Amino acid sequence: MKKIILFLFISLCLCGCGEKKPFYKELMENGEYIILDVRTKEEYENGHIKNAINISYEQINKEVDLDKEKTIFVYCKSGNRSKIAYTTLKDLGYTVYDLGAFDSLDLEKE
């Protein structure tokens, strides 16, 4: 009986050892997405996620023209501006996820 319990315990421990992808990487696997950097132009030019487009969070309104068929991932420096952009884009009918802070993202940067 002790061997069975030990085996079950070790099995459970090993199941949790696999590295789990961040949620956004799984969602990006289909390739139908836009990465939106909502920081200032200067911040963007000092480094950004590869293939991200830059639109300041203050410029996001009903006149913004993004593909509504694609999922949008937004980020900024600390997560505050991306939260505002997320809410605005969601209200405009986009499928959007807030990635939060640039430095915490596990995505290729340039």
Q: What is the pLDDT of residues 32-64, one digit of tens each?
A: 999 999 999 999 999 999 999 999 999 999 999
Query: What's the mean per-residue pLDDT of the chain?
Result: 87
Calculated CA dihedral for residues 51, 57, 59, 65, nearest 10 degrees = 50
The encoded tokens of residue 12 equal 């459970």
Provide the whole-model pTM.
Answer: 0.80
Which CATH number is correct for 21-104, 3.40.50.300, 2.60.40.420, 3.40.250.10, 3.40.50.1820? Answer: 3.40.250.10
Cβ contact 28:108 at 8 Å: no
Taking residues 89-110, report their average pLDDT. Answer: 96
Spell out the domain ranges in the chain.
21-104
